Amino acid sequence: MQYYADLNRLVNNGIQYTMLDKQRRMIPVIRRLLSILPKPFYNNLYDHESVLDPKIRPPVPGMGDRSLYFFHHEWPELRDSSLSMYNQDEAEMIACFFNYLVLSGTPADKVTILTVNYSYPFV
Looking at the fold, whether 53 and 64 belong to one and the same domain comes out as no
Looking at the fold, whether 123 and 63 belong to one and the same domain comes out as yes
> How many structural domains is the chain composed of?
2
Q: What is the pLDDT of residue 122?
A: 46
Structural domain range at position 42: 1-58
Looking at the fold, whether 66 and 119 belong to one and the same domain comes out as yes
Looking at the fold, whether 88 and 71 belong to one and the same domain comes out as yes
Per-10-residue mean pLDDT, the chain, length 123: 65 83 88 83 87 87 87 89 90 95 94 72 46
Looking at the fold, whether 105 and 63 belong to one and the same domain comes out as yes
SS3 per-residue string spanning 18-43: CCCCEECCCCHHHHHHCCCCCCCCCC
Q: What is the pLDDT of residue 20?
A: 79
Q: What is the pLDDT of residue 39?
A: 81
End-of-domain residue from the set 13, 33, 58 = 58
